[in-house]
Amino acid sequence: MVPPHAPAEAPNKAAKPAFFGRVAGRPRVQAPAPALVESRPMIEATQALRNALQTVFAQLVAGTGQPAPDATFETPKQASHGDLAITGAMGLARALKKNPREIAADLVARLQQQPAVQRWVQSLEIAGPGFVNLRLAPAAKQAVVAEVLAAAQCFGTSNRHQGQRVMVEFVSANPTGPLHVGHGRNAALGDCICNLMQSQGWEVLREFYYNDAGVQIGTLATSTLARLKGSKPGDADWPEAAYNGDYIADIAADFAAKKTVTADDRAFTASGDVADLDGIRQFAVAYLRHEQDLDLQAFGVHFDHYYLESSLYTDGRVEETVKRLVASGHTYEKDGALWLRTTDYGDDKDRVMRKSDGTYTYFVPDVAYHVAKFERGYGKVINVQGTDHHGTVARVRAGLQAVGAGIPAGYPDYVLYKMITVMRGGQEVKISKRAGSYVTLRDLIEWTSRDAVRFFLISRKSDTEFVFDIDLALKANDENPVFYVQYAHARICSVLAAYFDKHAGERNFAQADLSLLTAPTEAALMLKLAEYPAMLARAAAEFAPHDVAFYLRDLAAAFHGYYAAERFLVDDAALARARMALLAATAQVLKNALGVLGVSAPESMHREVPAAEGAAA
C-alpha cells in the first residue's frame, strides 16, 4: 500500500470566480448549464426489484379493497442485517388482519418467485416483528462502479425538473457593513440549495434583495458624516445609534479624497463635500456594496440578479400592492393606521400596513416584492433567512393570499437558520476590528480557509445552533470533518498516481472485471456509492444541504475503512485493475458531492500523524 499521505501542498487559496451582477429589471444572461444525465446507479437491479415488490404488494391486498403500500426499501442501521430492508408487512397487518411475521413469510415466498429477485438478490430473511432483510447479489452492488465511471461529473444528477424555474433569494444583507458570519451561513446554505436544485434539472435564479431604503441607510450616512467631521466612537458628540466599525472611517476617508467606487451595478464618485449628505449616503452604499461583493467573491458565491428595495417605491409597486389589498376587502382603519386582517389567513394577529404618520411597515414592501417575484414567472421561490425573521413568514404569506393575484398558499418556501458562535482557543470571539461589533465572513475565511468555512457552515441542520471552532478547522487530521473528507479524495489520487506510474498507458477502467470486488469493505463502499443519487434528490426536495455533508463523512469513512483493510497495488493484475476502478468511482462521487457544497477536492494533502500512531509505526 502507498504511504498514508500525499505530498504537502499550500493551504487552499481557491481562485476567485468572476462576479456577475445586475439590478432589478436587468438580469444577466446565464451561460448554458451543463447537460444533465439521468444517472441510474444499479438501475436495472433497483428498478426491477422495486417493480417486483410493487407486484407482490398488489397480490397481497388483492380483493381486500385496501391500497398497496409504496414499494420502497430502507437501509438497515447495521450492515449485518443486510443491504436493504422491507417494512411493508407491518403496515399491512391491520388491513389483512394477520400477524406481521405471517405476512412477511408470504411476502418472501412471493418475492422468491419474481425473476428480478432470482437474478439480483442473494437472500431474503425475516427479522424482528416482521422486517424482511434483503442481501443483494454481488453483481447488483458492483454495477454502480461502471455507472459512476460512465456518468462521471453527471453521476447523481437528474433531469426530472427540466424546464421548471426556481428563484432562490439569499444573503440579502443591508448595505450598512461587512458581511458577518451569520450572512456566511446564509450564503453557504443558499448557494448549496441552488446547486442541489440545479442537480435535479431546475433552472435556478440566484437573487440578492438589497434593503437600500429605510432607517439603516440614514444611520450609515450620519455615521460617515460624523467621521468626516472628526468624531469617533466614544466621543461625546458621536451619535448613539451610529455604526462603530473601522470601515466607517475608511468610507469617510475615501469620500473626502473624492474617490470613485464601483459596485456590481453602479459607479459613484464622491464629491468630498461634508454638506452633501445625500452624496455621502450614495457613496457609502456603493462602497459597502462593493465590499460585500468582495466578501462573496472570496466565498465563491455569485448572484444572477439584484433587486433594490428602493425600486419597489420608485416603480410604484408598493402603492399598487396597497391598493390591491384595500380592494380585496381585508383591510381596515384603526387608530389612524391602515391594518391588514392577516388573521383571516392564519396569522396570530392583524398587522399594521401603514402607520399613522403615513409610512409603511416593513412587511408591506416584502409583500410587494413577492408579488413581483410571482409575476416575473417564478412559481417556486425559496427564501433563506435567519430565525429572527420567523414572524415575517405568516404575515407575508397572508398578504400574498389577500392580494388576490392567484398566488398559491404556502408561497414562498422558507429555509430558516440560527446564528453562529465563533470559538478560538476555547474562548468565544465576539468582536472584529474591521466591523467593530461582530466577526465578519472575511475574517473567518482568512483565519481558516474558504473550504473549511463552507463545509462547516452547512454541516448541521440550518435550524440548529452552530459553534464554529477555528482551532478544529485548522487541524490537518481526522478530527476536522472537511479534512477527513478531502483527505479521502487526496488518498485515492495518490494510490491512482502510483498505479499509473506502473501502468502508464492505462487510464480507462471500463473493462475492469468488477466481479472480483467481493471483500466486505468493497461491498460496503459500493452500497454507499449507490446511495448518492437518491440522497441528492432527497436533499434537494427538502432544502437540506447538510445531508450532503453527512453523506460525505459516511462515504469517506467507508473508503478509509477499505484503505485500512485491503491492499490495492497487488500482484494480481485483474484484481488491481478492479480496485482501481472502485477507487476512481469513489473519487468521482467525493468530488461531485464536494462540488455541490462549493468545496474543492484536492489531489494532494498532508496529514498530521498523531503521536500514538507515529509511535506505533
89-98, 249-258, 407-416: range with lowest mean pLDDT? 89-98
Residues 409 and 328 reside in one and the same domain:
yes
194-198, 466-470, 495-499, 613-617: range with lowest mean pLDDT? 613-617
Mean pLDDT of 359-375: 95
Residues 47 and 136 reside in one and the same domain:
yes
Please say if the pLDDT value at position 26 is more than 80.
Answer: no
The predicted structure's pLDDT at residue 2: 36
For residues 492 and 497, give the distance between their C-alpha atoms in angstroms, rounded to a whole number: 8
**Arithmetic mean of pLDDT over the chain:** 89
Q: Quick one: pLDDT band at residue 6, thresholds 50, 70, 90?
A: very low
Burial 404-442 (b: 16+ CB within 10 A, else e): eeebeeebbebbbbbebebeeeeeebeebebbbebbbbb
Q: Is there a contact between 536 and 596 (Cβ–Cβ < 8 Å)?
A: yes
Dihedral, 86, 88, 93, 98 alpha carbons, nearest 10: -50
Q: Quick one: pLDDT band at residue 8, thresholds 50, 70, 90?
A: very low
Residues 398 and 490 reside in one and the same domain:
no
Of 125, 140, 155, which closes a domain? Answer: 140
Of 122, 140, 158, which closes a domain? Answer: 140
Please say if the pLDDT value at position 197 is more than 70.
Answer: yes
How many domains does the chain contain in total? 3
**pLDDT tens-digit map of 486-530:** 999 999 999 999 999 999 878 789 899 999 999 999 999 999 999
Of 392, 417, 442, which closes a domain? Answer: 417
592 inside domain = yes
The predicted structure's pLDDT at residue 434: 53
Highest mean pLDDT of the ranges 75-84, 344-353, 499-508, 556-565: 556-565
Q: Check residues 616 and 82 and name the one with the higher pLDDT.
A: 82
Residues 485 and 603 reside in one and the same domain:
yes
**pLDDT tens-digit map of 117-156:** 999 999 999 999 999 999 999 998 999 999 999 999 999 9
Q: Which domain, by its residues, includes 61?
A: 43-140
Please say if the pLDDT value at position 12 is more than 50.
Answer: no
410 inside domain = yes
Task: Kindly report the CATH number assigned to the domain that includes residue 122.
Answer: 3.30.1360.70
Please say if the pLDDT value at position 226 is more than 90.
Answer: yes
The predicted structure's pLDDT at residue 510: 87
The predicted structure's pLDDT at residue 95: 87
396 inside domain = yes
- Reading the block at residue 170, the C-alpha cell is 439569499
**Is the preceding omega at residue 412 within 30 degrees of 0, hence cis?**
yes
389 inside domain = yes
**pLDDT tens-digit map of 180-195:** 999 999 999 999 999 9
Please say if the pLDDT value at position 346 is more than 90.
Answer: no
Residues 493 and 401 reside in one and the same domain:
no
Q: Quick one: pLDDT band at residue 462, thresholds 50, 70, 90?
A: very high
The predicted structure's pLDDT at residue 506: 80
Q: Is there a contact between 38 and 157 (Cβ–Cβ < 8 Å)?
A: yes
**pLDDT tens-digit map of 149-167:** 999 999 999 999 999 999 9
The three-class DSSP label of residue 80 is helix
Q: Quick one: pLDDT band at residue 347, thresholds 50, 70, 90?
A: confident
The predicted structure's pLDDT at residue 81: 87
Q: Quick one: pLDDT band at residue 14, thresholds 50, 70, 90?
A: very low
Q: Check residues 187 and 95 and name the one with the higher pLDDT.
A: 187
DSSP structural state of residue 436: S
Residues 491 and 375 reside in one and the same domain:
no
For residues 528 and 586, give the distance between their C-alpha atoms in angstroms, rounded to a whole number: 9
Please say if the pLDDT value at position 314 is more than 80.
Answer: yes
- Reading the block at residue 72, the C-alpha cell is 420502497
The predicted structure's pLDDT at residue 43: 62
Please say if the pLDDT value at position 311 is more than 60.
Answer: yes
193: left (phi over 0), alpha (psi -120 to 50) or beta: alpha
DSSP letters spanning 162-182 = TT-EEEEE-----TTS--BHH
The predicted structure's pLDDT at residue 402: 95
391 inside domain = yes
Q: How far is CA 569 from its chain centroid?
A: 37
The predicted structure's pLDDT at residue 283: 95
440 inside domain = no
Please say if the pLDDT value at position 63 is more than 50.
Answer: yes
Residues 505 and 598 reside in one and the same domain:
yes
For residues 15 and 554, give the distance between their C-alpha atoms in angstroms, rounded to a whole number: 29
517 inside domain = yes
Look at the block and give the residue holding cell 477502467.
Answer: 509
% of residues, the chain, pLDDT over 70: 90
The predicted structure's pLDDT at residue 215: 84
Please say if the pLDDT value at position 387 is more than 70.
Answer: yes
Dihedral, 246, 386, 341, 211 alpha carbons, nearest 10: 40
The predicted structure's pLDDT at residue 136: 92
Task: Kindly report the CATH number assigned to the domain that includes residue 376.
Answer: 3.40.50.620
68 inside domain = yes
Mean pLDDT of 343-360: 92
Residues 494 and 584 reside in one and the same domain:
yes
For residues 241 and 250, give the distance between their C-alpha atoms in angstroms, rounded to a whole number: 19
Residues 594 and 492 reside in one and the same domain:
yes
Residues 409 and 503 reside in one and the same domain:
no
